[in-house]
Amino acid sequence: MSDFDVSGNDKELQEFLMIEKEKAQVNAQIHEFNEICWEKCIGKPSTKLDHATETCLSNCVDRFIDTSLLITQRFAQMLQKRGGGDL
């Protein structure tokens, strides 16, 4: 019976680690947004964002998110096709 409890704990640990890995990936992506969009849109830091800079930052993040979603969807499609071929 103790073996069953250990495997249950292993499953909980694996789920916890998966969640933490996903959190780390989200944080890494946010950091990447900041770096890329800062370099692209911020010419000279100041106390306020002008309209053009604000628009640039918004468009930059939107494009980055759209691209990330597209890549994720394509990857999922590839995995699904590959998995379907193995059945």
For residue 15, pLDDT over 60 is answered with: yes
Q: For residue 75, what pLDDT is reported?
A: 84
> Using CA atoms in the order 73, 75, 79, 80, what is the torsion angle rounded to 10 degrees?
20
Please tell me what DSSP assigns to residue 87: -
For residue 32, pLDDT over 90 is answered with: no
What does pLDDT average to over the chain? 83
For residue 87, pLDDT over 50 is answered with: no
For residue 4, pLDDT over 70 is answered with: no
Query: What mean pLDDT do residues 81-85 have?
Result: 70
What would you report as the CA-atom Rg of the chain, rounded to the nearest whole angstrom?
A: 21
Q: Which CATH number fits domain 11-81: 3.30.365.10, 1.10.287.810, 3.30.499.10, 1.20.1070.10?
A: 1.10.287.810
Q: For residue 82, what pLDDT is reported?
A: 82
